[in-house]
Amino acid sequence: MRALPIGGLVCFLLLVGCGSPEVEVAAPPEPLTVEARARIRSVLASADPDEVKAALAEIARAAPSIPWLLEGLLDSNRGVREWSAHALGDLAPQDDGVVRALVVSFEDKDDYVRWKAARALGNIGPRAAMALPLLRVAAETETEVLQAASQKAVRQISGD
């Protein structure tokens, strides 16, 4: 006998009347369209915090756009790089490729991008262990803000 996947079982039970018709199954998130990605990228480049917050919420509601956010780490605009690192730290904690990209971003020329990369690496936690040597050096040698972000990331990653 072939087993039904969970989704198929739920549909089967609803069809035969054994399930509750009031149960709503959430539709899977849709990927961002090309137009939405272009609009969001221009918003991330802006300085309007409310618009940036709304754009990050839109990214969070969509199907993960990890390749697009990784591409954002290489953008010529600091704001796009900064907020791409921020979003990656929130949306892709289980991806080793993201960790490697954030390690590279931690060496960005802009301190805001580096700060967001440190924050993102800390949010990822133990899977970002490859960043510990870099973060430990930064925790001792960088500006006060980067030192604090690096120290916090080290604690989050190492569990100290």
What pLDDT is attached to residue 92?
A: 63
Q: Which domains does the chain show, CATH number per domain? A: 6-158 (1.25.10.10)
Q: Cα 58 to chain center, whole Å?
A: 12
The Cα 25–Cα 49 span in angstroms is 33
| Predicted TM-score of the model (pTM) | 0.71
Q: 34-44 vs 49-61: helix axis angle to the nearest 10?
A: 150
How does pLDDT run across 33-77, given as a tens digit for each residue? Answer: 878 878 878 887 877 778 877 877 777 777 667 888 888 899 999
